[in-house]
Amino acid sequence: MLDVIVAAAVEQPPLATPPTTLAIGNCYIVGASPTGAWSGHAQQVAAFTSGGWRFVAPRDGLNVFVRSSGEVAVYSTGSWEIGTLRGSQVELGGDQVVGPRSAAIANPSGGSTADTEARAAIGQILTAMRGHGLIAM
State residue 9 phi and psi, 5-degree precision: -130, 115
Per-residue pLDDT of the chain (137 residues; tens, 9 = 90+): 777 777 889 999 999 999 999 999 999 999 999 999 999 999 999 999 999 999 999 999 999 999 999 999 999 999 999 999 888 888 878 887 788 877 888 877 776 676 888 888 888 999 888 887 777 77
Euclidean distance between CA atoms 82 and 66, whole angstroms: 8
The pLDDT value recorded for residue 135 is 79
- Dist. CA 78–CA 48, nearest whole Å: 23
Q: What is the pTM of this model?
A: 0.71
CA atoms within 13 A on the CB side of 7: 1
* Beta partners for residue 56, in sequence order: 45
Sign of CA dihedral 50, 55, 59, 65: positive
